[in-house]
């Protein structure tokens, strides 16, 4: 069946595969066939009838024009895409598409980049023969991201198919019949899927457009630059559309290996945060409790002097995992150059006991594109759709292809694909994994051995074990550790159990790096136990938690907002508040920063600086700055270069960021992603079985300072909601009803939130999100908690 | 549109289905579900809507469509698509009876226009409307497949054929 | 006059309670099915017999039934389906309703035999939702057949399974298109699928499926009983058998007539009592509303079979013969047809979704006295851009009446445009 065959299109001989459609061959050959409903990533609908062509087979012409998108090739087929018959058919369809289209191009955001406009230029008539009344369609409010002008809809159904096939959530449908058919939700409601913005790109007309971009610019005023998304560990490839010095919108750039043709809504709409009024536009210093601007020179000299005079063991550097590779590298170089060892970028982790055994460069374990070909995947501690939307999409493809997906989580997830969810308490996650290990007749050693010995596997564990084992024999099993695992008090044991199961099943262990450059931190050495080039450090410095538990005198914060970016914000506030010096390099002002910092240095944000992100599969993706940072803000690497110089440190003489990149690339030349642990992961469980535990998810639009300031994303339902999810039985025990105000206590940390009852939650879990407004004063993201009536 | 031959089944969180509709209707829907392959519960969406509509006095509310969706593990919008596509589902309140006068060609040739005009004049309703007393909803319907006894009128579930305006009046008078 | 009426699908019609199992048994019903079960007849032999009979699909397309069955990958593993199309809704057509009402068992027997021949152990009969009485009759017959052990599992110890279910429509003409019908059974909107793949490869639930019209399937038991040759001889070469004609419109006694294919139209008209009120015959739509109209004079010289009617420029279609008498306004008739197709377009293909409404609006405007001279060419042009450009045949069905009405009665349209909506035909 793999034999190629040859067909002729417009006289050109083309090679084709059996079963391929004419349009796919034509696209490959660069022969333009107009189309609206066809999209390479969606099922074939063949309903727009724009791609009608003339064809003949074995010398016999087809009696009617055939749709190029739905007509499979056959040996010796001859296709004419521009013959009089084909053109007449295409013009006919064009006329029908236009009769009810409002032709309101002057006020349409799609104008200038509209497929209907483009094709109409080629196939439309000058004057319409249609003189009847045009169809008018009532718009639906689809929420803050997607604007609708459904009168413009040409019913190609790409958006509907996207929902059913790609998103896995059928939110849109085509209701009604004939010319009354309407695309919409039928009962207007906000699209909630994390990939929903892609329908804006899919819509060939101006029926679905970007709401934040609405009426902001005309497409011909925009220039295009390339970028890499700065949020999750996929590193989606982007097209940034600019006007002057402003990012006006963000579109995906095709890259099959990374984001295919999609991007998440987070990647698409977070650019709005760039224009936030919170932007720090000049260096500032706090004197007598008041902030005042200060020149760069002055600011940096002061910082350098105080850092130089600080005792090296009193310096702690905390770097956001969304910092660029170059920033991370220079920040650790500065820190280590000053003789300090406390540098970390794992701000949401609390269990670092496994550091000594950490693999040199933890990664996804497989290339991103291969996620979808796995036969079995065990996902440990991951709210995958919120954390890594496009990896969730790849897993969905795997699941639809028949893969067995098993999740071990402290909360039930709303998934878009069939999966087995083992939902248990935070502590119980160890037991679930131990049970799977036991079902595989593994015994383990050390504390893992005890866990496994205590486990009681049920059918669910046995079936999960068998799926993995079957896949493992094909080298196609995968065990992934997600962000909730990384935030877990027994992360080390979760890892240990993952390796035990992997060994027993022949599966691969993989990590879901938290953020855009979490993987890069290992290469840049922005970790207490890893030096640049992913080399193990001889002396392990203080980790992100140790730096806060034992407060330092001086802190350097890089791109961090203390209230939302730490696993334990109350601990962070206390430690930072007690320091003599807190220098914050930041793109944004924030109350929690201003409360603790002494100096704030404005640095460039996403799209404003060159740099490199290393994604989950270990791919280095370099990007250039597309716009200048606002005001006096400067690219981070430049700030660090000058600081290095002012601190009299060697090796900070870089002419451009490319030199930094090159230096690090040389250091990393031999580094290959590798998930084999270097040592022992056996530690004692830190969690007792009993007691209520907070499970702090990190909502999708609260992950980093930029997205938290993206206005439209923040308006989506549930974007920033602080609440306590409780099992009704537990709530009844403490006398709390749905909607009632509860007081939440984690040690001395305290907050109040409304109760949301959820029968699907385990009885000893209090689901209390982190990163949201209201959560600033709380403690560990995952840790003991008390909930009572307020 | 080619959402081809894969059930749309959604992994809905287990929702209490026992409370939906009535036990009798659930049993009837279940009997329909049993006709189709187990993974194709959605095949029963049309009979389910028909049953639920009748139970609700002849029309479907959005809530009822959502309930049917939940009962058959379907995305609600897929049920809306079906309910809005087929002409026998009503999504607005209707009268106690439905009267559908066939307006297709054979009936036209045999006087269906007279019937339609007669109803419009005498009862003050246009197609799609319900009489002020709520007695009946008047519809023009496409070919009923009763052409040999045109003009044909569907009153409730019964065909009446070869009707004159006077005969139709008599039928209407008999309705409660 | 035609002698041999009601010899196939209507063979129980003369009996009291013709729909009952006993009535059907009394005319030899289920004998063929039982014989097959007993003898395990080679399905290929049955299909050959059907091919010999020249039975052509009675739903409208006229595709040879035996050939259709032979496309099924009979011995391929996995479930296969036989589906009966009882979604009768083509304006002018009312024959299947009467088969369901008066002879449902013959349809059941036909479906069971079909299932046996194509390797399908499950069948669905898709009946339009408005057919309350026919649905009840069919369901009652199904119950009788199950109780009599004629269908079900391991029928009469033969090892043959055949389960048959009713699936009710809910008001959509397009579900008479076979792939729209399959979508409808799958619990979706009835939107036709593009072909290929054809249902014989990828049908109901993605499995190989054969879809036949009610009358086609109901004809099968009689063909097997009397032989393919007999059936063929009832009609004409390539046009086997008797066929049901629904003669409606302007005739004295509209009715269904089961007469041999090839019966002269004028005989059929006479059976229906001639043109109503003794008027002159103006036109005939000989195969349901979708086919081109034929002027009366030409029709009176035409025989009722697929090939003869094709020669007259139209199609036999479903056998719905709509008779139009002198004095009828053809603009009005066409406006009615155009309204129908606009109302019943499923909405997926652009030309049909947009074009059918356009045609209906222009015609409505002309009727209301607001026609313009260029409208007539516009109608023709729009119809030409719909026909042959859509996934299913509804586009053609909407286009052909327009083109044929304009071909034969253009002067009536011109007159109405010129005279502000006055009808030439009604004025005369």
Give the span between the Cα atoms of A622 and A615, in whole angstroms.
11
Residue that wins the pLDDT comparison between A102 and B12: A102
pLDDT at residue A294 tops 50: yes
Q: Tokens in use for C318?
A: 């479903």
Ranges for all domains in chain B classified under CATH 3.40.30.10:
97-173
- The SS3 of residue A365 is coil
Q: Which of A316, A237, A69, A190 is nearest to A715 (CA)?
A: A190
- Give B17's pLDDT tier (boundaries 50, 70, 90): confident
CATH architecture of B3-85: Orthogonal Bundle (1.10)
Is the Cα dihedral A224, A227, A232, A235 positive or negative? positive
Mean of per-residue pLDDT scores for chain A: 95
Q: How far is CA C267 from CA A184, A284, C258, C260, C312, in A?
A: 54, 103, 13, 11, 17
- CA A537, distance to chain mean position in Å, is 30
Give the span between the Cα atoms of C320 and C246, in whole angstroms.
5
Q: Is A388 exposed, middle or buried (0-12, 13-18, 19+ CB in 10 A)?
A: buried
Q: Tokens in use for B100?
A: 């559908």
Q: Tokens in use for A452?
A: 């496994």
Give the span between the Cα atoms of A361 and A676, in whole angstroms.
9
C337 vs B78: CB contact, 8 Å cut-off? no
C196 vs A177: CB contact, 8 Å cut-off? no
B147 vs C328: CB contact, 8 Å cut-off? no
Please say whether the beta carbons of C241 and C8 come within 8 A. Answer: yes
Q: Tokens in use for A94?
A: 């064009």
- pLDDT tens column, A195-228: 999 999 999 999 999 999 999 999 999 999 999 9
* DSSP per-residue string spanning C26-80: HTTTTHHHHHHHHHT--HHHHHHHHHHHT-B-TTTT--BHHHHHHTS-TTSSS--
Q: Which of A548, A547, A530, A551 is nearest to A539 (CA)?
A: A530
Nearest CA in chain C to A73: C196
Q: Tokens in use for C62?
A: 């006229």
| B–C interface: beta-carbon pairs under 8 A | 166
Ranges for all domains in chain B classified under CATH 1.10.10.1590:
3-85
Give the span between the Cα atoms of A8 and A78, in whole angstroms.
5
- Give A682's pLDDT tier (boundaries 50, 70, 90): confident
pLDDT at residue A771 tops 70: yes
Q: Please state the rounded mean pLDDT for residues A54-61.
A: 94
Q: Please state the rounded mean pLDDT for residues A655-679.
A: 93
Q: Does residue C136 belong to the interface with chain B, where contact is any CB pair within 8 Å?
A: no
ipTM beyond 0.90? yes
Tell me what pLDDT residue A1 has.
47
**A contacts of C346 (beta carbons < 8 Å):** 177-178
- Give A360's pLDDT tier (boundaries 50, 70, 90): confident
Q: Which residue among B3, B11, B62 places its CB closest to the CB of A164?
A: B3
A178 vs C342: CB contact, 8 Å cut-off? yes
A186 vs B84: CB contact, 8 Å cut-off? yes
Q: Which residue among C194, C346, C351 places its CB closest to the CB of A96?
A: C351
Q: Please state the rounded mean pLDDT for residues A562-579.
A: 97
Q: Which helix (H) or strand (E) holds A24?
A: helix A22-29
Which of A187-191, A444-448, A493-497 shows the highest mean pLDDT? A493-497
pLDDT at residue A594 tops 50: yes
Residue A164 is given by DSSP the state: I
- Give A686's pLDDT tier (boundaries 50, 70, 90): confident
Q: Please state the rounded mean pLDDT for residues A374-399.
A: 97
Please say whether the beta carbons of A559 and A280 come within 8 A. Answer: no
Pick from B1, B61, B66 the residue to mutate for testing the A interface (most A CBs within 10 Å). B1
pLDDT at residue A654 tops 90: yes
Q: What does the pLDDT profile of chain C (428 residues) look like in tens digits? A: 455 688 999 999 999 999 999 999 999 999 999 999 999 999 999 999 999 999 999 999 999 999 999 999 988 899 999 999 999 999 999 999 999 999 999 999 999 999 999 999 999 999 999 999 999 999 999 999 999 999 999 999 999 999 999 999 999 999 999 999 999 999 999 999 999 999 999 999 999 999 999 999 999 999 999 999 999 999 999 898 999 999 999 999 999 999 999 999 999 999 999 999 999 999 999 999 999 999 999 999 999 999 999 999 999 999 999 999 999 999 999 999 999 999 999 999 999 999 999 999 999 999 999 999 999 999 999 999 999 999 999 999 999 999 999 999 999 999 999 999 999 998 76
Residues 6+ apart with CB under 8 A from A289: none
**C contacts of B6 (beta carbons < 8 Å):** 206
Q: Which of A491, A528, A486 is nearest to A319 (CA)?
A: A528
Residue B58 is given by DSSP the state: S
Q: What is the dihedral of CA A349, A355, A358, A362, to 10 degrees?
A: 30
Nearest CA in chain B to A419: B11
- The SS3 of residue A465 is helix
Pick from C187, C196, C198, C423 the residue to mutate for testing the B interface (most B CBs within 10 Å). C187
C248 vs B108: CB contact, 8 Å cut-off? no
Q: Name the interface residues of A facing C (CB cutoff 8 Å).
A: 44-50, 52, 63-65, 67, 70, 72, 89, 92-93, 95-97, 99-100, 129-130, 132-133, 154-155, 157, 174, 176-181
Q: Which of B79, C249, C280, C370 is nearest to A173 (CA)?
A: B79
Please say whether the beta carbons of A211 and A157 come within 8 A. Answer: no
Residue A658's φ and ψ, nearest 5 degrees, are -60, -35
Q: Tokens in use for A116?
A: 């209907």
Q: Which CATH superfamily is domain B97-173 in?
A: Glutaredoxin (3.40.30.10)
- Give B12's pLDDT tier (boundaries 50, 70, 90): low
Residue A199's φ and ψ, nearest 5 degrees, are -65, -20
Please say whether the beta carbons of A707 and A748 come within 8 A. Answer: no
Give the span between the Cα atoms of A543 and A521, in whole angstroms.
13
- Give B9's pLDDT tier (boundaries 50, 70, 90): low
C88 vs B72: CB contact, 8 Å cut-off? no
Give the span between the Cα atoms of A383 and A375, in whole angstroms.
20
Give the span between the Cα atoms of A388 and C413, in whole angstroms.
64
Instruction: Measure the CA angle with vertex B101, ends B100 and B105; round to 5°.
Output: 135
A129 vs C389: CB contact, 8 Å cut-off? no
Pick from B60, B69, B85, B144 the residue to mutate for testing the C interface (most C CBs within 10 Å). B85
Tell me what pLDDT residue B2 has.
41
Please say whether the beta carbons of A257 and A615 come within 8 A. Answer: no
pLDDT at residue B10 tops 80: no
- Give A447's pLDDT tier (boundaries 50, 70, 90): confident
pLDDT at residue A188 tops 90: no
Pick from A88, A178, A183, A204 the residue to mutate for testing the C interface (most C CBs within 10 Å). A178
Q: Hey, which chains touch C, using 3+ CB pairs under 8 Å?
A: A, B
Phi-psi region of B162 (alpha: psi -120 to 50; beta: other; left: phi over 0): left
Nearest CA in chain B to C181: B43
- Give B14's pLDDT tier (boundaries 50, 70, 90): low
Q: Does residue A401 belong to the interface with chain B, where contact is any CB pair within 8 Å?
A: no
Residue A244's φ and ψ, nearest 5 degrees, are 55, -130
- pLDDT tens column, A112-162: 999 999 999 999 988 899 999 999 999 999 999 999 999 999 999 999 999
Cis peptide before C246 (omega within 30 of 0): no
pLDDT at residue B3 tops 70: no
Tell me what pLDDT residue C75 has.
87
Q: Hey, which chains touch A, using 3+ CB pairs under 8 Å?
A: B, C
Give the span between the Cα atoms of A706 and A672, in whole angstroms.
31
Give the span between the Cα atoms of A586 and A602, in whole angstroms.
5
**B contacts of C244 (beta carbons < 8 Å):** none
Residue C81's φ and ψ, nearest 5 degrees, are -130, 145
Give the span between the Cα atoms of A15 and A690, in whole angstroms.
66
Give the span between the Cα atoms of A488 and A565, in whole angstroms.
16
Q: Which residue among C349, C361, C378 places its CB closest to the CB of A49?
A: C349
- pLDDT tens column, A60-94: 999 999 999 999 999 999 999 999 999 999 999 99
Residue B169's φ and ψ, nearest 5 degrees, are -55, -45
How far off is chain B from A154, nearest CA to CA, in Å? 13
Q: Which of A428, C282, A666, C345 is nearest to B142 (CA)?
A: C345
Give the span between the Cα atoms of B161 and B150, in whole angstroms.
6
Please say whether the beta carbons of C92 and C251 come within 8 A. Answer: no
A43 vs B3: CB contact, 8 Å cut-off? yes
Beta strand spans in A181-338 (E): 182-184, 208-210, 223-228, 237-243, 246-252, 284-287, 290-293, 315-319
């Amino acid at each position: 069946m793999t034999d190629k065959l040859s067909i002729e299109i417009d006289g050109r001989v083309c090679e084709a595969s059996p079963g391929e459609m004419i349009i796919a061959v034509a696209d490959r050959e660069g022969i333009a066939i107009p189309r609206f409903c066809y999209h390479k990533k969606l099922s074939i609908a063949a309903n727009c009838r724009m791609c009608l062509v003339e064809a003949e087979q074995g010398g016999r012409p087809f009696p009617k024009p055939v749709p190029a998108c739905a007509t499979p090739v056959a040996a010796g087929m001859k296709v004419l895409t521009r013959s009089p018959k084909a053109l007449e058919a295409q013009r006919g369809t064009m006329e029908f598409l236009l009769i009810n289209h409002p032709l309101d191009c002057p006020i349409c955001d799609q104008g200038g980049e509209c497929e209907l406009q483009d094709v109409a230029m080629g196939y439309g008539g000058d004057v319409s023969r249609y003189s009847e009344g045009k169809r008018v369609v009532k718009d639906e409010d689809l929420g803050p991201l997607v604007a609708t002008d459904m009168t413009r809809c040409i019913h190609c159904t790409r958006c509907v198919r996207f929902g059913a096939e790609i998103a896995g959530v059928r939110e849109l449908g085509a209701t009604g019949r004939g010319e009354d058919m309407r695309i919409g939700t039928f009962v207007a409601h906000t699209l909630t899927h994390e990939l929903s913005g892609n329908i804006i790109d899919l819509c060939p007309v101006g029926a679905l457009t970007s709401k934040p971009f609405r009426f902001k610019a005309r497409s011909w005023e925009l220039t295009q630059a390339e970028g890499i998304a700065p949020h999750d560990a996929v590193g989606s490839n982007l097209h940034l559309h600019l006007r002057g010095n402003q990012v006006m919108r963000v579109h995906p750039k095709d890259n099959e290996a990374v984001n295919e043709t999609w991007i998440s809504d987070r990647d698409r709409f977070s650019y709005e945060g760039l224009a936030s009024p919170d932007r720090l536009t000049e260096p500032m210093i706090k004197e007598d409790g008041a902030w005042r601007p200060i020149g760069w020179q002055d600011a940096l000299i002061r910082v350098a002097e105080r850092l130089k005079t600080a005792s090296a063991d009193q310096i702690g550097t905390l770097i956001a995992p969304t910092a660029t590779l170059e920033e991370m590298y220079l920040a650790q170089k500065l820190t280590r150059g000053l003789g300090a060892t406390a540098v970390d970028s794992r701000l949401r982790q609390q269990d670092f006991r496994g550091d000594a055994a950490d693999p040199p460069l933890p990664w996804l374990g497989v290339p991103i594109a291969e996620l979808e070909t796995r036969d079995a995947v065990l996902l440990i501690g991951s709210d995958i759709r919120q954390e890594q939307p496009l990896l969730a999409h790849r897993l969905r493809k795997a699941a639809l292809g028949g893969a067995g997906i098993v999740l071990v989580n402290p909360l039930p997830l709303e998934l878009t694909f069939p999966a087995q969810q083992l939902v248990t308490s935070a502590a119980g996650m160890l037991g679930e994994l131990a049970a799977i290990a036991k079902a595989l007749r593994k015994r383990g050693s050390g504390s893992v051995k005890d866990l496994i010995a205590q486990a009681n596997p049920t059918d669910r564990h046995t079936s999960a074990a068998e799926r993995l084992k079957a896949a493992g024999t094909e080298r196609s099993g995968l065990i992934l550790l997600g962000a909730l695992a990384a935030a877990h008090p027994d992360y080390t044991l979760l890892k240990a159990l993952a390796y035990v199961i992997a060994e027993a099943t022949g599966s691969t262990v993989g990590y879901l790096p938290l953020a855009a450059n979490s993987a890069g931190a290992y290469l840049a050495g922005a970790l207490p136990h890893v030096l640049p080039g992913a080399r193990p450090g001889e002396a392990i410095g203080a980790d992100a938690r140790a730096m806060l538990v034992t407060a330092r005198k001086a802190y350097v914060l890089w791109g961090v907002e203390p209230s939302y970016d730490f696993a334990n914000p109350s601990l962070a506030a206390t430690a930072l508040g007690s320091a003599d010096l807190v220098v914050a390099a930041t793109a944004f002002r924030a109350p929690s920063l201003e409360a603790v910092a002494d100096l704030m240095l404005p640095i460039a944000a996403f799209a404003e600086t060159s740099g490199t992100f290393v994604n989950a599969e270990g791919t280095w993706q370099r990007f250039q700055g597309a716009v200048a940072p606002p005001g006096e803000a400067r690219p981070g690497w430049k700030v660090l270069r000058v600081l290095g110089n002012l601190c009299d440190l060697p090796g900070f003489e870089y002419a451009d960021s490319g030199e930094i990149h090159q230096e690090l690339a040389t250091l990393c030349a031999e580094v290959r992603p590798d998930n084999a642990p270097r040592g022992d992961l056996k530690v004692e469980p830190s969690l007792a079985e009993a007691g209520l535990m907070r499970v702090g998810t990190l909502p999708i639009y609260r992950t980093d300072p930029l997205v938290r300031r993206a206005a439209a994303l923040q308006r989506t339902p549930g974007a920033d909601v602080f609440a306590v999810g409780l099992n009704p039985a537990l709530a009844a025990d403490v006398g709390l009803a749905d909607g009632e105000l509860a007081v939440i206590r984690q040690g001395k940390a305290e907050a109040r939130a409304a109760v949301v009852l959820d029968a699907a939650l385990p009885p000893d879990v209090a689901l209390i999100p982190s990163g949201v407004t209201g959560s600033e004063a709380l403690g560990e993201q995952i840790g003991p908690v008390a909930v009572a009536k307020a | 549109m080619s959402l081809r031959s894969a059930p749309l089944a959604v992994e809905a969180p287990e929702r209490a289905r026992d409370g939906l509709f009535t036990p009798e209707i659930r049993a009837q829907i279940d009997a329909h579900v049993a006709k189709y392959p187990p993974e194709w519960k959605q095949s029963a969406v049309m009979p389910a809507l028909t049953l639920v509509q009748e139970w609700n006095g002849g029309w479907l509310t959005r809530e009822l469509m959502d309930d049917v969706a939940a009962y058959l593990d379907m995305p609600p919008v897929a049920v809306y698509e079906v309910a809005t596509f087929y002409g026998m589902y009503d999504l607005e309140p209707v009268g106690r009876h439905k009267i559908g006068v066939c307006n297709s060609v054979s009936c036209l040739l045999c006087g269906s226009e007279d019937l339609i005009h007669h109803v419009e004049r005498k009862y003050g309703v246009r197609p799609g409307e319900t009489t002020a007393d709520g007695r009946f909803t008047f519809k023009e319907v496409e070919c009923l497949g009763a052409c040999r006894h045109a003009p044909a009128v569907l009153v409730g579930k019964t065909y009446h054929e070869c009707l004159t305006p006077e005969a139709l009046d008599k039928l209407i008078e008999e309705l409660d | 006059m035609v002698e041999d009426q009601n010899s196939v699908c209507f063979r129980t019609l003369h009996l009291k309670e013709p729909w009952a199992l006993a009535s059907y048994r009394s005319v030899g019903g289920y004998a063929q099915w039982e014989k097959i079960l007993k003898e395990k007849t080679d399905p290929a032999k049955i299909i050959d017999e059907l091919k010999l009979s020249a039975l052509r699909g009675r739903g409208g397309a006229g595709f040879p039934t035996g050939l259709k069955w032979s496309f099924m990958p009979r011995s391929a593993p996995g479930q296969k389906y036989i589906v009966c199309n009882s979604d009768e809704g083509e304006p002018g057509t009312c024959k299947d309703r009467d088969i369901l009402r008066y002879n449902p068992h013959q349809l059941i027997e036909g479906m069971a035999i079909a299932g046996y021949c194509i390797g399908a152990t499950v069948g669905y009969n898709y009946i339009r939702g408005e057919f309350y009485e026919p649905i009840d009759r069919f369901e009652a017959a199904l119950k009788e057949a199950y109780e009599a052990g004629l269908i079900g599992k391991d029928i009469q110890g033969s090892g043959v399974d055949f389960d048959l279910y009713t699936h009710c429509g809910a008001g959509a003409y397009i579900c008479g298109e076979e792939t729209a019908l399959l979508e409808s059974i799958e619990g979706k909107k009835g939107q036709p699928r593009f072909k290929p793949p054809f249902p014989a490869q990828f049908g109901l639930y993605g499995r190989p499926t054969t879809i036949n019209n009610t009358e086609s399937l109901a004809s099968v038991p009689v063909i097997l009983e009397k032989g393919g040759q007999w059936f063929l001889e009832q009609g004409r070469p390539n046009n086997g058998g008797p066929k049901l004609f629904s003669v409606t419109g302007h005739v004295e006694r509209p009715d269904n007539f089961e007469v041999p294919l090839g019966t002269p139209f004028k005989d059929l008209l006479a059976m229906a009592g001639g043109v109503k009120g003794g008027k002159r015959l103006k036109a005939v739509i000989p195969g349901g509303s979708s086919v081109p109209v034929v002027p009366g004079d030409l029709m009176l010289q035409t025989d009722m079979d697929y090939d003869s009617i094709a020669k007259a420029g139209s199609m036999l279609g479903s056998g719905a013969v709509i008779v139009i008498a002198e004095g009828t306004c053809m603009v009005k008739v066409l406006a009615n047809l155009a309204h129908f197709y606009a109302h019943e377009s499923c909405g997926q293909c652009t030309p049909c979704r947009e074009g059918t409404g356009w045609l209906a609006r222009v015609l409505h405007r002309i009727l209301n006295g607001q026609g313009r001279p260029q409208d007539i060419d516009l109608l023709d042009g729009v119809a030409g851009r719909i026909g042959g450009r859509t996934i299913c045949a509804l586009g053609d069905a909407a286009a052909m009446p327009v083109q044929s009405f304009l071909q034969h009665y253009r002067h009536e349209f011109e007159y109405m445009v010129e005279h502000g909506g006055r009808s030439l035909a009604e004025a005369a």
